[in-house]
Amino acid sequence: MSDILKWGILGCSKFALEHMLPAMQLAKNNKCIAIATSDNSKAKPFLEINSDINIYNDYNKLLNDTNVDAVYIPLPNHLHVEWTKRAILAGKHVLCEKPIALNAKDIDELIKLRDQSGLLVAEAYMILHHPQWTYAKKLLKSGAIGNLVQVDGVFSYNNANDSNNIRNHSISGGGSLLDIGVYTFGSTRFMTDEDPEKITQTSINWENDVDVWSSVSAQFQTFKFLGVTSMRMHPRQEMNFHGSDGLIRLTSPFNPQVFGEAEVHIFSGEEIQSIKKFTTENHYVKQLESFYSTISTGSEYICNLEFSKGTQQMIDMVFEHEASSKL
């Protein structure tokens, strides 16, 4: 591979246009050279950002482009596994939007194909590439808040008036848990290096077979967890790690620069002991640079498929608990 990782994008999603293509323009050693879409008119705003991009009218044609090193997949959730497998078999590294699968067992086949191919295959779990999480984890592991007792988090937005949004359709793998539960669940697992022993409580509001609001309680090995996700509430996001001697709070844990400035607050007693601000970091850019580094140097990738499987297993446990509670 050259010193530039050449990307192809499957589909012209709004997210790819607003976040990932600009990140590919900014990230060192990364460049987008191709996009595949069934509607060429959707490619126009992409070309306004980068006029050198090749446009394909078929996903497979992009996968057959020998100049493409890696493929970014922002397709609807139910297509992630299929096109990740096709990209691997075409010899491409893959960065697929979350959730990379709709259940944990489907990730096993992706792990097998990854290992057989020697390619880098990962879920686009960008938050772990933001330095606020590394900083917060070091604080937690240093004993800054004593023994961890409880983790609580919330992530919400309101798309009730957007009936065409794929997140509002069960057939495309919609719902708040698959879309944003991955953040409250996954960040908790990252910070603590623990997995849930059991789900102790679930309360879910459903609309057209889609979970639009959920409250989940879980018992981990050494602490309790409470998480709320919603697609029907005013935007909010926050993660709290509450210990015997203090509290770590991330005020914009998942969408810094979009939701608000990333800050890590440390509370001791009733007072804020310190505030660490992260004003300029772009976790999409850092994600791409880390992806390139792993391919070129063999460095460890912070969010491997095994990590993604663990988070999906927790989501599976929530749905299983909810189903059993209705019997």
Catalytic residues: 98
In residues, how long is the chain?
A: 327
- Check: CB of residue 263 under 8 Å from CB of residue 173: no
Rounded-to-integer distance, Cα 84 and Cα 96, Å: 7
Rounded-to-integer distance, Cα 127 and Cα 1, Å: 27
Q: At 115, give phi and psi (nearest 5°).
A: -65, -35
- Per DSSP, the three-state class of 239 is strand
Rounded-to-integer distance, Cα 141 and Cα 127, Å: 19
From residue 257, give the alpha-carbon distance in Å to each of 43, 71, 253, 284. 26, 26, 10, 11
- Per DSSP, the three-state class of 68 is coil
Rounded-to-integer distance, Cα 256 and Cα 233, Å: 19
Cβ-proximal residues to 310 (8 Å cutoff; 6+ apart), any chain: 189, 195
Residue type at 38?
Answer: S
